[in-house]
Amino acid sequence: MDERRGHHELLKQICNIRQLQQGRDEREAVQKRQAVICADDIVRTKEQIVDQGIDQRERQLERGPFQSHSLLQWQFWLSHSLDEVRDAQDALKEAEDEEADANNQLAKSIGYHKSISELIIQSHRNINKLQDRYAERKYEDLTSYRHWQNEDNA
């Protein structure tokens, strides 16, 4: 009876492990999709920043700071341009930070996957040990039964 209960518990553990693994796989897939979406957004943001900077620079060059502008106007335009460059650099830095955060999140996800995999491997080892013990007990029971049967027949 204990062997059946042990076998039943073993099957329950196997089912629980499979459910955990399936849930982990689903969470991991969602995290990977989120990381890819985040990386795509970062790339798109960087491209937009570069495109906007190029467009602004072209428009400013078309107007030109030297076309009958006073020195003060030219200094203002140059100062304003530098501010825009700094703003673009700040936005680019933020996008790079977000990309680094996404990479860190992906690395953590991979670490969790490894930990869960190690737990599953250890569980399988424990299951194999239990199965070996069960087989040994069955063999011992069968051997002792045959021994008693031989004594009764003799």
**Could you please report the per-residue DSSP string of 14-40?**
HHHHHHHHHHHHHHHHHHHHHHHHHHH
Cα–Cα dist 148/154, whole Å: 10
Find tokens 């051997």 and name the residue: 143
Residue 75: predicted pLDDT: 77
pLDDT means per 10 residues, the chain with 154 residues, are 71 77 81 79 80 75 59 77 86 89 85 83 90 88 77 69
Cα–Cα dist 145/138, whole Å: 10
Cα–Cα dist 64/6, whole Å: 85
Residue 139: predicted pLDDT: 85
Residue 142: predicted pLDDT: 80
Does the predicted TM-score (pTM) go above 0.75? no
Residue 61: predicted pLDDT: 66
Residue 60: which residues within 8 A CB-CB, separation 6 or more? 77, 81
